[in-house]
Amino acid sequence: SVPVLGETDPSDGDLVILPIRVRNPSVIHVDMSPTELRFDAAVGTGVIPADQDVRFTVATNAPSWSVQCQASNLVSEAGEIPAARLLWERLDESGRTVESGNLGEAPVVYHGTTPTTGTTAILRFKVQITMRDVAGAYHGAIALMGVAGP
């Protein structure tokens, strides 16, 4: 006969069958390069692209996940531009924009609904320059963070 949960198995004397629960926590790993954005802002207004795109790779066992972006304000010797004015575009393998947003309003730059061993994506950042911004070379830190869940 098969032992019943919580009962002693008569063939082994004092062996008790107990339930076991295993919790496998969600792990999300994000690699990215570069970790700093640089912009050369000329006099005037407009949208200025960063000097290079950001490439990142996500590996996770989470069934649902997202990648959120945070950035510092952009600074130069003569001024500062708030990070909320950063615009982002996620590009496909051909360089076409597949999703975009304003970092101040839409910090989620990627999301998935299945685990992945290595999804790679490219982000292109731009900044909105106004007449109040002093011309110059601006730079700021950028970070990507993986979040499990919907």
Name which residue leads in pLDDT, 3 or 72: 72
What is the Cα–Cα distance from 66 to 52, expressed in whole angstroms? Answer: 23
Each residue's pLDDT tens digit, 51-86: 999 999 999 999 999 999 999 999 999 899 999 999
* Mean pLDDT score, 5-11: 55
| DSSP conformational letter for 3 | P
What is the Cα–Cα distance from 128 to 120, expressed in whole angstroms? Answer: 27
Query: What is this structure's pTM?
Result: 0.82
pLDDT score of 2 more than 70: no
Which residue is associated with the tokens 């609904």? 113
Label each residue of 62-117 as H, E or C: CCCEEEEEEECCEECCCCEECHHHEEEEEECCCCCEEEEEECCCCCEEEEECCCEE
